[in-house]
Amino acid sequence: MKTHVVDYGRGNIASVCRGVEQSGGEVVLTTRASDLAKAERVILPGVGAFGDCMSQLEALGFVDAVKGFAATGRPLFGICVGMQVLHSIGEEFGRHAGIGFIPGTVSAIPKTTADGQPHKTPHIGWTPLEYPAGKGHERWKGTILEDVEAGTSVYFVHSFTAAPETAAHRLADCHYNGRLISAAVQRDNITGVQFHPEKSGAAGLKIIERFLRM
Amino acid sequence: MSNLRLIARLDVKAPNLIKGIHLEGLRVIGDPNEFARKYYRAGADELIYIDIVASLYERNSLLDIVDKATREVFVPMTVGGGVRSIDDAKKLLRVGADKVAVNTAAVRRPELISEMAERFGAQCVVLSIEAKRTKSGGWEAFTDNGREHTGLDAIEWAKRGASLGAGEILVTSVDQEGTRKGFDVELTRKIVEAVPVPVIASGGMGSIAHMTEVATGAKPDAIAIADMLHYNRATLEDIRAGARAAGLAVRDTTVGAKAA
């Protein structure tokens, strides 16, 4: 189960690679956009600022390569900022175009709780996953979350959060001090998670394993 | 309030896991990664590795230990002790550490905090403060396991560190460390109130009641536990259950992935 992990100089890819290996996958680290043409499945990691990640992906030719790859229908998995850039717009340090698979904007987590109390951002720590509003486990069938129970806590570190425009693209949500956070999105063969499955213990490894079997 | 994170702290004098009292008088406990695996399986929310002799570049150093650990442990890991430069931090991140803790090098050159935050993101940079009570009723920051004075007021230093870009503050009470007499609640509270970033309380946990005391009295974001776990005086499951019984919000580890 070969998995191409995009190495564009942004992010702690060692942990992602180790998570994939632990889950039975074989990692192909790739710094060349042309490699994606023959990839079976692709992980797009990312840490840092949305605009910076996008301009680096653009500079290395990965934006077009990822679009070309996704058009083949093979599985694409964005993690953290790699999930955010799947959306159309990012508002971190200015307004930036994303890759645009998922219509929606990535903006700062509100500086107050839902009750208007100040709270800390980034949102760091373990937070339970929920089904999107009005959905149940059927939404997770056939996706990377198939083996996960609602209420499973996973590890987040982020200051910005995505807001998909189409409810059908929401795969999982969570709440941080009452604020709605898009924890996972999915559209056809494209999936993204805001949290770090590679740092979310056994549940996270199950999620990666499921991706490897897609 | 988000969940209180329960962090297993491993002080290392390579190749051994050690434990001291007031960060001194070290006793060898065993193979750090054996303990790391055990704590991971028992549901630690994170791990902290601190190399107490700062031997980053020696044979079988912390770097090797972390390199092995991150192949088996899939929760966030903070690593520190002897980190002097961007390059040191990069090496640790490259073997799978998630956050890098700095103390001595940041005291000597505070700009290192900003440089690391710019390079790796603030979420990667943990300012580690070893604090000791002073006669005048405050706290002074120390380096080298509580041996070297810095002349810095610990609370002011925490504030400055956060404003320079530290994403988290690890505050270890040298007075309480290894004593099993409880955290320095007042110190923790003052730092929590002073900084806008998460604070990890460390040093002194000897019972589950001590956790409740610091959680309610100081509201840190996380607690670091060493002695209690290393000497098997309580398991992470016991501590988590104790937190729930006391009404503290902690991660629910009973809900998880379904058996495949």
Dump pLDDT digits (tens) for A65-100.
999 999 999 999 999 999 999 999 999 888 999 999
Interchain contact, B74 vs A22, CB within 8 Å: yes
Alpha carbon distance A149, B252 (integer Å): 12
Residue of chain A whose Cα is closest to the Cα of B97: A15
Direct distance between the N- and C-terminal alpha carbons of chain B, in angstroms, rounded to an integer: 33
Interchain contact, A126 vs B3, CB within 8 Å: yes
How many folded domains does chain B comprise? 1
Using a CB-CB distance cutoff of 8 angstroms, which residues of chain B are in contact with residue A120?
196-198, 221
Residue B252 inside a domain? The answer is no
Neighbours of B156 (CB within 10 A): 13
Neighbours of B180 (CB within 10 A): 16
Residue with tokens 């971190």: A92
pLDDT at position A160 is: 93
pLDDT at position B14 is: 86
DSSP 8-class letter at A85: T
pLDDT at position B55 is: 62
Which residues, at least 6 apart from B87, have a Cβ–Cβ distance to it below 8 Å? none
Helix, strand, coil % over all residues of chain A, rounded to 5? 30, 35, 40
Interchain contact, B70 vs A127, CB within 8 Å: no
Alpha carbon distance A161, A194 (integer Å): 8
Residue B253 inside a domain? The answer is no
* DSSP bridge pairs for A187: A190
pLDDT at position B257 is: 61
* Edge-to-edge strand ranges of the sheet holding A102-108: A96-97, A87-90, A102-108, A160-164
Residue B47 inside a domain? The answer is yes
pLDDT at position B59 is: 59
Mean pLDDT of A39-52: 91
CATH number (domain holding residue B72) = 3.20.20.70
Is omega for the bond preceding A103 within 30 degrees of 0, making it cis? no
Interchain contact, A18 vs B70, CB within 8 Å: yes
Task: Identify the structural domains of chain A with CATH numbers, from first to last.
Answer: 2-212 (3.40.50.880)
Range of the domain at B150: 5-245
The two tokens of residue B78 are: 């903070």
Among B5, B75, B96, beta carbon nearest to A201: B75
- To the nearest whole Å, the CA of B44 is away from the closest chain A CA by 9
Using a CB-CB distance cutoff of 8 angstroms, which residues of chain B are in contact with residue A14?
70, 93-96
Which tens digits make up the pLDDT trace of A102-113? 999 999 999 999
DSSP 8-class letter at A139: G
**Is B176 in a helix, a strand, or coil?**
coil
Residue B256 inside a domain? The answer is no
Residue B259 inside a domain? The answer is no
Residue B62 inside a domain? The answer is yes
* pLDDT band, residue A150 (cuts 50/70/90): very high
Residues of chain B with pLDDT under 50: 259-260
pLDDT at position A142 is: 97
The ipTM, to two decimals, is: 0.91
Among the listed residues B197, B221, B9, the one whose alpha carbon sits nearest the alpha carbon of residue B117: B197
Using a CB-CB distance cutoff of 8 angstroms, which residues of chain A are in contact with residue B71?
18, 21-22
Using a CB-CB distance cutoff of 8 angstroms, which residues of chain B are in contact with residue A176?
2
Interchain contact, B2 vs A22, CB within 8 Å: no
Between A and B, how many CB-CB pairs are < 8 A? Answer: 102
Residue A52 has pLDDT above 70, yes or no: yes
Residue B181 inside a domain? The answer is yes
Residue B71 inside a domain? The answer is yes
Interchain contact, B260 vs A205, CB within 8 Å: no
Neighbours of B162 (CB within 10 A): 22
pLDDT at position A4 is: 98
Query: By a Cβ cutoff of 8 Å, what residues of chain B touch chain A?
Result: 1-3, 5, 40, 43, 45, 70-72, 74-76, 93-96, 98, 120-123, 167-168, 196-198, 221, 251-253, 255-258, 260
